[in-house]
Amino acid sequence: MTAVWTDKKKFETWLGVEYAVVKAMAERGLVPDNVPALLYEANGKMDPKRIAFFEEETKHDVIAFLRHLEELVGTEAMRYVHMGLTSSDVCDTAFAMQLRSANMIVHTSALQLDQVIHTQAIKYKDLRMIGRTHGMHAEPTTLGLVFASWLAELGRNIERLRIAADDLAFGKLSGAVGNYGNIDPEIERLALEMLDLNVEPCATQVVPRDRHAAYFNVLSLIASTIERMALQVRHWQRSEVDEVREPFSLGQKGSSAMPHKRNPILSENLCGLSRVMRGYASMAQEDIALWHERDISHSSVERIIAPDATILLDFMLSRALYLGKLDINEHKIDQNLKLSRTNTASSNIFLALMQKGHSREKAYEIAQEWRTVPEVVLQFLSDEEYNKCLDFERHLAHVDTIIDRV
Amino acid sequence: MTAVWTDKKKFETWLGVEYAVVKAMAERGLVPDNVPALLYEANGKMDPKRIAFFEEETKHDVIAFLRHLEELVGTEAMRYVHMGLTSSDVCDTAFAMQLRSANMIVHTSALQLDQVIHTQAIKYKDLRMIGRTHGMHAEPTTLGLVFASWLAELGRNIERLRIAADDLAFGKLSGAVGNYGNIDPEIERLALEMLDLNVEPCATQVVPRDRHAAYFNVLSLIASTIERMALQVRHWQRSEVDEVREPFSLGQKGSSAMPHKRNPILSENLCGLSRVMRGYASMAQEDIALWHERDISHSSVERIIAPDATILLDFMLSRALYLGKLDINEHKIDQNLKLSRTNTASSNIFLALMQKGHSREKAYEIAQEWRTVPEVVLQFLSDEEYNKCLDFERHLAHVDTIIDRV
Amino acid sequence: MTAVWTDKKKFETWLGVEYAVVKAMAERGLVPDNVPALLYEANGKMDPKRIAFFEEETKHDVIAFLRHLEELVGTEAMRYVHMGLTSSDVCDTAFAMQLRSANMIVHTSALQLDQVIHTQAIKYKDLRMIGRTHGMHAEPTTLGLVFASWLAELGRNIERLRIAADDLAFGKLSGAVGNYGNIDPEIERLALEMLDLNVEPCATQVVPRDRHAAYFNVLSLIASTIERMALQVRHWQRSEVDEVREPFSLGQKGSSAMPHKRNPILSENLCGLSRVMRGYASMAQEDIALWHERDISHSSVERIIAPDATILLDFMLSRALYLGKLDINEHKIDQNLKLSRTNTASSNIFLALMQKGHSREKAYEIAQEWRTVPEVVLQFLSDEEYNKCLDFERHLAHVDTIIDRV
Amino acid sequence: MTAVWTDKKKFETWLGVEYAVVKAMAERGLVPDNVPALLYEANGKMDPKRIAFFEEETKHDVIAFLRHLEELVGTEAMRYVHMGLTSSDVCDTAFAMQLRSANMIVHTSALQLDQVIHTQAIKYKDLRMIGRTHGMHAEPTTLGLVFASWLAELGRNIERLRIAADDLAFGKLSGAVGNYGNIDPEIERLALEMLDLNVEPCATQVVPRDRHAAYFNVLSLIASTIERMALQVRHWQRSEVDEVREPFSLGQKGSSAMPHKRNPILSENLCGLSRVMRGYASMAQEDIALWHERDISHSSVERIIAPDATILLDFMLSRALYLGKLDINEHKIDQNLKLSRTNTASSNIFLALMQKGHSREKAYEIAQEWRTVPEVVLQFLSDEEYNKCLDFERHLAHVDTIIDRV
């Protein structure tokens, strides 16, 4: 992923854009036939250091890039390069390409995680465990359903990512204020087609930044979904709960002072990084309202968050693959479930009492009392009815239905 | 819009959910036939004050609601109400309905704004004005293209709103931990169908909050697009620019100290409110990672931002309709454009010089020098060539193409 | 607290500012002696509805206010009111007064919470419980130390609040662009002295907004500290931990489906509200960079967050007083501590082994192994030495030192 | 600044902490006298690559560091190193030292900027320019007053930085859960004294994170103040305003397409970076509410923002020094002021009319009308009175008073 965001890669992508434009122009006879080939050959020869050297003087990266390109292709050819373009035509179009490359990696990592969780959902679909709301024992569920819930959420996010990435696949080669002052829309169409990008229907000097803000929002949503999973693992691993643990490798140490410790550090790490991703997304939102046909305030933001947010999210997605290697403590899961067995029957008892004709209020009272004085309920329910209340099979009757839906 | 978020409306929507469930159960013969009708009649009779009174004791809003409902439909019927449901089944399903109602209003307001800007884009498509980048005169454009750019962005946001709202149209009636412990999936399907909602494929106790976070993000994106427009008006109205002004009504005052003032206060107001919307969106993001099968921390956030963010955005969209009544100062627009005429010809001159065989470097230098010593360029260009550079018609040649695309 | 933020209160505060100015001017002989008295009498007679009526026409709240004031004090007196002032002189100075009032309430609530936690820290300073890091049992600590840690943090925040509130106690009566164009600095000095405010040393049209941003940051810090406490309670109350519970009143219900539930809803509520407070703070940060001598974009933000953030934080502080009524389950605290007794001795064993001459690496390995095979350690330590390792008194030896520091 | 945040520097700082502890212990006779010297000699010999190698296996950075240290000082000495400490004792104490180093650089840069702006405030204190509110001409002010306003705000922020940095100068050497389980408070006191840090009065496993959140908030406030200045320059440089320009170096280019352009890119860059700083601050706020005696979720956040935020702010402060080299266009400043001369007299006329006995309402109306029909006012004011209204000297009468206050 870091390779996407090197200076070298950036300049090569710029060159790719300039190449597509002269190629399109050559097809239309506006540029000598040999010019595209000259640019093509320059690829791989560019030296970021030379460009940095020229930028020192010009304080303008694209002009520095063009100067260096002149060194490679000659002055004569350069008369036809960047013709009718403004810097943002090159930068923004190339930025779309770099974001596409970054997104492909993110997307692939997301699909890998999806696969891992999918496998876990199937594998553990029938492993009963106590469900918890407010951190308190509620009613039984299965471990597979937890994974299934994550899977469904991740799936929605992957679809959001697809939409947001499609919305980013737009270039613009329409000049200084986006109205084709010195270039023909047809050249833009041809060149962007070569680059497999759509034409921005109404650019200013730049591609509008709502596209980018929407994309960074989705990256942050994915991070929050990872946080949701990681947070769950942290809860499961608590000493008292001890149902699921992070993998712990041979030789790994948990604490420099307490040799007994085995901490959910991967999960804690991911929870922290989700905060970082939220912050990155917030930065992108302020880039939408630029002045007139553009100001360049968004640029410094994007130089930071485009690499940082995509690299970080990809790291998070890759790290989250540990969810496929969790250490499942079935014994403790069962113990905790049993601990709660009578407790969590309260909703069943409540319903059974109402079905026998008690009012809602009365039934609720008995069920509350039953918690401390179990005998009380036997005044109202037969042994058979009572035992049926303690049977949790019904909580698991529809697991397959849910799993199939997901 | 405020009507959507009253307590009365909330309780009526809850009743609507309970009604749909007993109706579905009655269809399946699980509930006496008269129960749905009793609930139906209770609608309109509910008294939020009674519910508040019961909540004082129970500290639980849904139980308080059920107690009040018992006053209206009788103890016998209540044995069949809320059967197998958990509070969140009612609350979350109803919340989806309230958000849908709120969103319909927001959506309608967004379409109205879209219409207003559409009209302006057509009306002013050929009104030439100087385009500006970095706040500096760049090349000519037209006022209509500015509107068109806004229109395209607003259109993208309306599409995003549609997607996010569709993603919110999910209810759940699957019990305490979402696995149908005491209710049949078929009842959920039937009841949600009546309410025109989709079945949440894998709920916990609640509908997962990525759906809501994504929605509030879109609300914030729309606000940022409004900010972009409003910011533009503020720039246009500046004393020195004075190209476009907000409408100023008869009797309106600009300042308590300076009677000459006429300030772009609507636009400034909208820019501020966009900050508020960004803040609301940030709150929703932290609600995704709940504990286990749910914790209730998201609830206090949503009680604030669900009404506040939808009401505020609707206010912003409605207020932004002033963009259809802008006071366009065509005289000043023309003056500013002329002021810049020779100035902004520099890109044309630059290109003309290269076309005549000068190197990129040399051409750039001449064009830079020409700004202060106009004569210099005549050494290199004929009068005719020079005059062609001062002609801006080409900047406007593709306006219709762009407008048509949008 | 809501009384601070009513329209009525706002207009009365505005009147208070206008009064102070005419009083100062009367002292200097610039205004007839009877004018201050006329304004003084107008207090309590103002009708927000009349002002709203005038604002409908003027679209300017201060001018509407002045018109209504003219109804109350007469046209002649009004010639001397608001003389040399700009609207912001009145609004910003009054805003400082309203924020001061709001802050006094917040501050008082913070001190109450401080007192409650202080009492708990003393009361439970010696109640041993297992300390946890990463959610895992670590080494023993005491419940009082937990309270002490909160107390220290709250104390720091109260000090921050004091500083930030002092930084807000600045008014300005220096005219349209802050340079006393039509008013004498001496009048400002006298008037602000009456209002017990400092003179803004270098105002623009307004008091600079870094003061407000800093203040809202502190409100958010306090909210996060409350969240820290509430989060702890949620963890303590978990079914498996069950060491500390929120108070649960007679008649309170935990769930509409599960009569056995008793959930930490106050704490969950506070955790959610902390997200809201962070969002409010983020809004205020964007208000610092105003245009030139001011733009009014900050105003719409402040109309929302000044009441919403102070009211909400005061609510949070008041709600957090439940921390003084926690239901401490000493039995379970002791059980959990014992559960971990041998476990958490590992650091002691580790140290003991090194003290006996084993290398760090070797000692760590033995201590790790000891966890599963306790006997192993007896090869290296005498019974006495081993038992000393299981004694946790040393962990509690410095509790009083820490409590005294706090 | 980057030197502060290298791995090498981090490990050296950790060593510094371990050294201080053994030194303190040696003073108390708990450690052989030669141990401190051995550690002292290890400084400068540490190899981050070896530590990385060990971390690969242990997944624990401090244990990896200790293993490498053992290579340098020998197994025997290591029995006395890190004795009674937990990793956070070393990391958090060292983190305070690194933040202190970083802050010294930030602080120095802030003082340099302060000096530069101070000089400008004095230099231009009498240069009259039109003041603007809402982007509209208001009343005259001076350029020096603008600088003075920035200076006052920056001064407040520097004071906030001092307070927040003082609040960060706390270390802790109190063991796994902060209660001195295996170390004496006296050792902590001595060691921290050597490191010139205060003792955290009530630590958990870590120093509480409200200290850090408060600090990052201040960094963001400073960034917003820089944004305020930079935004002003962008407005001043606008083509139509053209009063002040950023320095433009020889050979610098403004645009690849438009050779005439000279854009305020430094200022735009700073405005963007301020958004980034706000995002970093928001991340730190979520680190306050850790679980129990600590969880490690804050760590991943801090690894990113501690270097990124301090480096970025220092870059911003250094870049902002261009404010001392602004290109002041006195001619255009004067022109713009004159353009507005009659216009901005409206407040004077308004006051003069009231002083002559007209009602507030009537005076306001005349002053509004006068804008378009200047003659109207001569019906009510003598020529001398009218001319006095056009005289702006009074707006400048108190400039020195304000400058002196700042």
Nearest-by-CA chain D residue for B232: D135
Answer yes or no: do D60 and A253 touch at CB < 8 A: yes
**Looking at D19-171, which runs of residues are DSSP E strands?**
128-133, 136-142, 170-171
Residue of A182, A285, A392 with shortest CB distance to B278: A285
Amino acid A390: pLDDT: 81
In b/e form, how buried is each residue of A326-357, taking b as 16+ CB within 10 angstroms? bebbeebbeebbeebeebbbbbbbbbbbbeee
A260–chain C Cβ distance below 8 A for any pair? yes
B224 shares contact with chain C (CB less than 8 Å): no
Note every long-range contact of D244-247, with CB atoms under 8 Å and residues 24 or more positions apart, other chains counting: D244/D143, D244/D326, D244/D327, D244/D328, D244/D329, D244/D333, D245/D326, D245/D327, D245/D329, D246/D322, D246/D326, D246/D327, D247/D322, D247/D325, D247/D326, D247/D327
**pLDDT mean by block of 10 residues, chain D; 406 residues:** 94 98 97 96 94 92 95 94 95 98 98 98 97 94 98 98 98 96 96 98 98 98 98 97 89 74 93 98 97 97 98 98 97 91 79 87 84 81 86 86 95
Whether residue B152 lies within 8 A of chain A, CB to CB, comes out as yes
Collect all residues of chain A within an 8 Å Cβ-Cβ radius of residue B212: none
Say whether D255 is catalytic.
Answer: yes
Please state the CATH superfamily assignment of the domain spanning residues B88-248+261-335 in this structure: Fumarase/aspartase (Central domain) (1.20.200.10)
**DSSP designation for D243:** S
DSSP assigned state of D288:
S
Here the ipTM equals 0.95
Token couple for D154: 């920056």
Helix (H) or strand (E) holding D104: helix D87-123
Classify strands D128-133 and C327-328 as parallel, antiparallel or unpaired: unpaired
The residue of chain A with its CA nearest to that of D235 is A291
pLDDT at residue D119, rounded to an integer? 98
Portions of chain D given CATH number 1.10.275.10 = 2-83
Q: Phi then psi for B266, rounded to 5 degrees?
A: -60, -45
Q: Which residues of chain C have a pLDDT value below 50? A: none
Q: Do A265 and C132 touch (CB under 8 A)?
A: no
| Catalytic annotation, pick one of C60, C255, C359, C398 | C255
Sequence ranges of chain A with CATH classification 1.10.40.30: 341-405
DSSP state of A379: G
Residue from C129, C235, C236, C240 to probe the interface with A (highest A Cβ count within 10 Å) = C240
- The Cα D298–Cα B155 span in angstroms is 40
Residues of A annotated as catalytic are 134, 255
State whether B87 and C256 contact (CB < 8 Å): yes
The catalytic residue among D60, D255, D347, D359 is: D255
Domain ranges in chain D with CATH number 1.20.200.10: 88-335
- CA dist C268 and C273 (Å) reads 9
Nearest CA in chain B to C257: B86
Q: Do B139 and A399 touch (CB under 8 A)?
A: no
Using CB atoms within 10 Å of the CB of residue D50, give its burial: 0 to 12 exposed, 13 to 18 middle, 19+ buried: middle
Q: Which residues of B touch C263 (CB under 8 A)?
A: 296
> Which of A18, A216, A293, A358 should we substitute to test contact with B (largest number of B Cβ atoms within 10 Å)?
A293
Mean pLDDT value across residues A38-47: 94
CA atoms of D250 and A134, how far apart (whole Å): 65
With a pLDDT cut of 90, the percent of chain A lying above it is 80
What residues of chain A, 74 to 113, have a C-beta less than 8 Å from chain B? 75, 78-79, 81-84
Residue A78: per-residue pLDDT: 94
Residue extent(s) of CATH 1.20.200.10 domains in chain C? 88-330
The CATH label, of 3.90.1150.10, 3.40.50.1950, 3.40.190.10, 1.20.200.10, for the domain at D88-335 is 1.20.200.10
> Which class is C2-83 in CATH?
mainly alpha
Name the active-site residue from B134, B239, B256, B292: B134
Other C-beta atoms lying within 10 Å of the C-beta of residue D403: 20
Helices B87-123 and B297-319 pack at an angle, to 10 degrees, of 20
Q: Is A256 on the interface with B (CB under 8 A)?
A: no
Residue A153 contacts residue A162 (beta carbons within 8 Å): no
pLDDT score, position C256: 73
Q: Per the CB < 8 Å rule, is D240 touching B235?
A: no
Cβ within 8 Å, pair D295-C134 = yes
Cross-chain residue pair D282–A282, CB shorter than 8 Å:
yes
Helices D61-73 and C360-370, packing angle to 10 deg? 140
Helical pair C383-390 and C346-355, crossing angle rounded to 10 deg: 140
8 Å CB contact between D22 and D80: yes
How distant is the alpha carbon of residue D304 from its chain centre?
18
pLDDT tens track for D224-270 = 999 999 999 999 999 999 999 999 877 777 777 777 778 999 999 99
- Amino acid present at B119: T
pLDDT tens-digit map of A286-344 = 999 999 999 999 999 999 999 999 999 999 999 999 999 999 999 999 999 988 776 77
Give the count of Cβ contacts less than 8 A between chain A and D.
159
Which chains does chain B touch, 3 or more C-beta pairs < 8 A?
A, C, D
B343 interaction partners in chain D (CB closer than 8 Å): 260
Give the chain D residue nearest A238 (alpha carbons): D291
| A249 at D interface, C-beta within 8 A | yes
Residues of chain A positioned with their CB less than 8 A from the CB of B348: 182
**pTM (predicted TM-score):** 0.96
* Domain covering C88-330 in this structure, CATH number: 1.20.200.10
Cβ contact B282–A286 (<8 Å): no
Chain C environment of A368 (Cβ under 8 Å): 259-260
Predicted local confidence at residue D372, as pLDDT = 75
Chain D contact present for C136, CB below 8 A: no
Flag whether residue D372 sits within 8 Å of chain B, measured between CB atoms: no
Name the catalytic one among B82, B87, B88, B255.
Answer: B255
Task: Select the residue from A253, A258, A266, A292 to test the D interface by mutation, using most D Cβ atoms within 10 A.
Answer: A253
CA separation for the pair A20, A28 (Å, rounded):
12
Q: Which residues of B touch C279 (CB under 8 A)?
A: 279-280, 282-283
B88 in active site: no
pLDDT, averaged across chain A: 94
Q: A266-281: per-residue pLDDT in tens?
A: 999 999 999 999 999 9
Name the residue among C235, D307, C402, C361 with its Cα closest to residue B291.
C235
Q: In CATH, which of 1.20.80.30, 3.40.47.10, 1.20.200.10, 3.90.740.10 is domain A88-248+260-332?
A: 1.20.200.10
Q: Between B272, B291, B297, which is nearest C272 by CB?
A: B297
Best of A275, A286, A295, A305 to substitute, by most chain D Cβ atoms within 10 angstroms, is A275
Mean pLDDT by 10 residues, chain B (406 residues): 94 98 97 96 94 92 95 94 95 98 98 98 97 94 98 98 98 96 96 98 98 98 98 97 89 74 93 98 97 97 98 98 97 91 79 87 84 81 86 86 95
- Fold for domain C341-405? Ribonucleotide Reductase Protein R1; domain 1 (1.10.40)
